[in-house]
Amino acid sequence: MFSRDPAGERSTEDTNDMATKLTVPISEEQIRALKVGDQVLLSGIIYTGRDAAHKYMIENFIKGDCPDSEKALYEELKQGLAGSVIYHCGPVVRKRDDGKYEFVAAGPTTSIREEPYQADVIEHFGLRAVIGKGGMRDKTLTGCKEHGAVYLHAIGGAATLIADTCEEVVDVFKLDFGVPEAFWKIRVKDFPCVVTMDSHGESLHAKVQAESEGKLKKLLAG
């Protein structure tokens, strides 16, 4: 996502010039304009959510009846996720002396574990993007195409740098799930990522897998 200046150093200014800047809430039109390979700088309020969070949303909000005790959380997510983003992330979090939380590290989690849930979550909550690493498969890709969403690949191994884009931890929900699995509501500024699954049915992950399988077959045949 970086180009190099004449001295050979990576330039964040060049990255900013090349990237599409998106601010939550994101419109379907903005998402439909993106294609695989596009660089994105994301700003606004987004939420983290991993295995426990996705399973919980499916069982309590999408396929099950919402318990009275969880209606406040449902309304928070229903309003907050519309036009927004879920980040597959189990952050390292520090509680400050003033009682507020801050992210110390916030690298992406492998996304494929959310494949059984993601398309339903995109549809129900009106998500416009999912951030993670490693990509997802056909069910999620179909959901992105049908409902106007994209998969954004975050840089693995850059947990501290990504945490620096988190300007504020606004709130946290279901902390009883544990810090990595809770819903963290955060405000980000220029979070860097790349579109690797778009709303037109294209997936860089699927292409890489197909090419790899083809090369493997040639090697075995040889």
Q: Check: CB of residue 126 under 8 Å from CB of residue 140.
A: no
- Residue 114 and residue 129: Cα distance in Å, rounded? 14
Q: Check: CB of residue 89 under 8 Å from CB of residue 50.
A: yes
**Continuous H helices in 81-203:** 115-125, 138-147, 159-164
- Residue 119 and residue 128: Cα distance in Å, rounded? 11
Cβ–Cβ contacts within 10 Å for residue 154, how many?
Answer: 23
Annotation marks residue 54 as catalytic = yes
In the set 54, 88, 153, 205, the catalytic residue is 54
Where b means 16+ CB within 10 Å and e means fewer, 57-87 reads bbebbbeeeeeeebeebeebbeebbebbbbb
Distance of CA 13 to the CA centre of its chain: 23
Q: Check: CB of residue 136 under 8 Å from CB of residue 153.
A: no
* Of 97, 80, 53, 67, the residue nearest 170 (C-alpha): 80
Place of tokens 């294609």: 35
Residues noted as catalytic: 54
